[in-house]
Structure 1
Amino acid sequence: MPINHIIIIGGGIAGVASALALLRHNKVHCSVFEIRSEPTTIGGAINLTPNALRYLDHLGVLPRLLPKGCEVHHIDVISQRTGANLGQIDFDKVEKFKHRALRILRADLLDALLEELEESGVKVQYSKRIDSVLERDDGVEATFGDGSKVTGDMLLGCDGIHSSVRMNFVQPERKPVYTGIAVTYGFLDAAGLSDLLPFDSTTAIFGRFGTFLMSFYTVDRSQLYISVVTETKDMGSREGWLVRGSDQDALKDDILRRFAGSAMPYLETGMQKIDSWVLYPVFKLPPHGVWHSGQLLLLRDAAHAVSLSICMPPQGESVGLVLEDVVLFSRLVAHHKGKAASHIFHNYDLLRRARIDAAYKEATFHWETAKD
């Protein structure tokens, strides 16, 4: 049976990129539904690697991003204790990889994807909570909290690590687990600070009590993004994390304590200048989970939630893995025209599983080494 219409649950980066890739490769009509009332993404400024930029170029999105982000030739890796340069993560190989890296706000990336999708004739439908799924011989029917229904040839769950599709319809027993790691981040104007910074665009500072990342994220290098990855006690509930994150004085004091006595005075200067910090815990999914059931497939965080960009801030591979997922899947849909959804899902699993298992193993290593 030909694939003519795909239902996508989740209007974030994974869901919108999936719709773009499917339109580009297959001219398949996609309907995208998001539970939130407006475009929303969690996180600060991400480092898009050359791999990610090639996929974004393929999807037609890259020209919208280049005027907004800061090009990254390399990332300096520095010791907090001594201030010594421990090495570089090099992205300055344009002749080989076509692009350097790009540091940009996650919100700007999502906006660019949404603009490209809307120009392709698809608008995300917001305030849509999926309530039930009915699988039929001729496809799948989704019903939402407002009573509306939609039918399609398959359904993609792109709704994040706390995926309703996974927890209600694919593998309910597979629940997110706190890694023991949390990220605290903030933004500041670089005026009066730029001359003090001994790096071109981005530096990652490794210390005993966490990893400190400082990076420009605008094309004119006028704005700085700072994030700290630390071992943090589990707050036990969403409400507990909200309370912890709302105590701005405690967050700042904790960061200053962890990075006190640094050989780089600009660290404390930068931290003191930030008025508002955002805290969020990093969760993972148990490995080797089920990715598909019947006419339903999970993509990205809903399926495997490998956040290398969190556990090792410079890499930014989280978005790269998202784009690999969706482009590979769209190509399989094109290659297996007329095949059943289960056949396409099975082949996707066969091609993708080893890559994700390797990434999960690397992420787990970094989660553990990031702890005190």
Structure 2
Amino acid sequence: MAINEAIIIGGGIAGVAAAIALTKFNHFKVAVFEIRPEPATIGGAINLTPNALRYLEHLGVKPKLQLRGCEVNCIQVLSHRTGQPLGTVDFANIEPHALRVMRFDLLQAMLETLRELDVQVQYSKRLIAIEEDVERITATFEGGMIAKGELLLGCDGIHSVTRTKFIQPARKPEYTGVANAYSFLNIEDDVCDMLPIDTTSLYSGRHGSLLLSYADPAHRRLYVSAVMATADVGSREGWTVKRREQDALKADLVRRFGHPSLPFFETILQKLEAITLYPVYKLSESGVWSSGKMILVGDAAHAMPPQGESVGLALEDVILLSRILEHHQIKSIGDMFNCYDTMRRPRIDAAVKEANFGFETIKDRGWLGNIIMDWLTWFFLAWRQKRKSEEFSFDVRHNAIVFN
């Protein structure tokens, strides 16, 4: 059974990566459709792990990022209570090291690579219907546009229309009770001198966690990200907090993170001009990833609270699926999807469990619980160091793929 054409729903990181891989390595004709009117601009500075960078090199994207991000040798984890180090997430002994880069810059680099393959994302396309027959799958969009292919990839994120309307409607996103308040600051010498960070520092405290990281090669753009328990405000998308509400949010951030261990925090906070609040959702740990000629990829299949590795996992999804399409002697699409599920699910299940556990520790806790958590964090980071190195060295391209 030959497969030559694919419909991709979603023009974000997972969808564009899928389009690059299927065009470049599988020689597919692909059509990419995005519901937004333009590339998404919401999103902070993401940490690209060594795995993610290897996959981006494979796709031809990495060279476009080298001058846009900040190389990260390690993430220093500190106690907000004492200011003392609790441990590190170390990338120093792994090639390549991690890279902190703006999400928008990553997407733009990927779109540039896709255009070089003569493929364009089609924007303002809302999926309303999917029909299948023995040989083809047909997607219909608002306004009457129709796309046909032999395979459809749902890469449309945690609030995926592909999943919620056509694959598993009962599997809805769940609000975690946690939101990310983030902003950027172009720092001057006086601020730079007071920052006790190498490239990335994470402060763990009673009322959430605070990440401070440079996001450019010159260490002049500071990413400030506070992850904290927040009541559900009824919005599933991130938004820039209105000016009249900025003062209240800043006061809450001072209450949570103002402390002698961070004497510079209020100075930084007052210099921030725009803070974006992004609610964090997740999906249940088990779910259906495929149906008929449709398969979910990235957050549409397994969205989890962000733990710095979600982009790498989405890219891994894409690379593995591309490899299976390349090597599998396809008897049926269902047979191929079952193979993908068998190979992929154990690694994803482990990542989801770890991410969910980590986010539970972010929620507000008492003073005694905070002391205990400091000790547990120190122990956990030390215990996980060797395993993390193995995970960052993992490359899905090197998995034995042998099909009969």
User: Do both proteins adopt the same fold according to a TM-score greater than 0.5, normalized to the shorter chain?
Assistant: yes
Give the secondary-structure state (helix, strand or coil) at the position aligned to 1:303.
helix
| Worse-matched range after superposition: 247-256 or 7-16 | 247-256
**Which of 293, 305, 308 is equivalent to 1:307?**
305
Cα deviation for residue 244 of structure 1 reads 7.0
* Offset from partner CA, 1:237-270 (integer Å, 9 cap, x none): 459x869777222211111110122322122221
Hey, what's the Cα distance between the residues in 1 that align with 2:19 and 2:236? 30
Hey, what's the Cα distance between the residues in 1 that align with 2:277 and 2:207? 16
Give the secondary-structure state (helix, strand or coil) at the position aligned to 2:96.
coil
Cα deviation for residue 41 of structure 1 reads 4.6
Give the secondary-structure state (helix, strand or coil) at the position aligned to 2:264.
helix
Hey, what's the Cα distance between the residues in 2 that align with 1:245 and 1:106? 22
Cα deviation for residue 19 of structure 1 reads 1.0
Give the secondary-structure state (helix, strand or coil) at the position aligned to 1:68.
coil
Hey, what's the Cα distance between the residues in 1 that align with 2:241 and 2:186? 25
Q: Any stretches of 5+ residues in structure 2 without a counterpart?
A: 365-404
User: How does 1:149-298 map onto structure 2 within 5 Å?
Assistant: 149-191=146-188, 192-238=190-236, 247-298=245-296
**Which of 127, 132, 149 is equivalent to 2:129?**
132
Amino acid at match of 1:262: P
Alignment pair present for 1:25 and 2:25:
yes
Amino acid at match of 1:300: G
* Offset from partner CA, 1:99-158 (integer Å, 9 cap, x none): 011000000000000000010111000111111001011110011102011100010000
Q: Tell me what 2:97 maps to.
A: 100
Give the secondary-structure state (helix, strand or coil) at the position aligned to 1:193.
helix
Amino acid at match of 2:69: G
Instruction: Check 1:176–1:255 CA distance in 2 against 1; reply closer, same or farther (3 A cut).
Output: same
* Offset from partner CA, 1:180-205 (integer Å, 9 cap, x none): 11100000011121111112111101
Q: Tell me what 1:312 maps to.
A: none
Amino acid at match of 2:132: E
- Using structure 2 for the length normalisation, give the TM-score: 0.87
1:245, 1:279 within 8 Å by CA — same for their partners in 2?
A: no
Q: Tell me what 1:91 maps to.
A: 91
Hey, what's the Cα distance between the residues in 2 that align with 1:65 and 1:72? 14
Hey, what's the Cα distance between the residues in 2 that align with 1:273 and 1:31? 43
Percentage identity across aligned positions? 54
Q: Tell me what 1:9 maps to.
A: 9
- Using structure 1 for the length normalisation, give the TM-score: 0.94
Hey, what's the Cα distance between the residues in 2 that align with 1:236 and 1:224? 29
Aligned residues between the structures: 362
Hey, what's the Cα distance between the residues in 2 that align with 1:10 and 1:189? 32
1:216, 1:224 within 8 Å by CA — same for their partners in 2?
A: yes
Give the secondary-structure state (helix, strand or coil) at the position aligned to 1:83.
coil
Hey, what's the Cα distance between the residues in 1 that align with 2:163 and 2:357? 26
Amino acid at match of 1:235: V
Alignment pair present for 1:42 and 2:42:
yes
1:11, 1:159 within 8 Å by CA — same for their partners in 2?
A: yes
* Offset from partner CA, 1:304-356 (integer Å, 9 cap, x none): 102333xxxxxx20101011111001101111254322111111111111111
* Offset from partner CA, 1:51-97 (integer Å, 9 cap, x none): 1111111111000001110111112211112211222221111xxx3
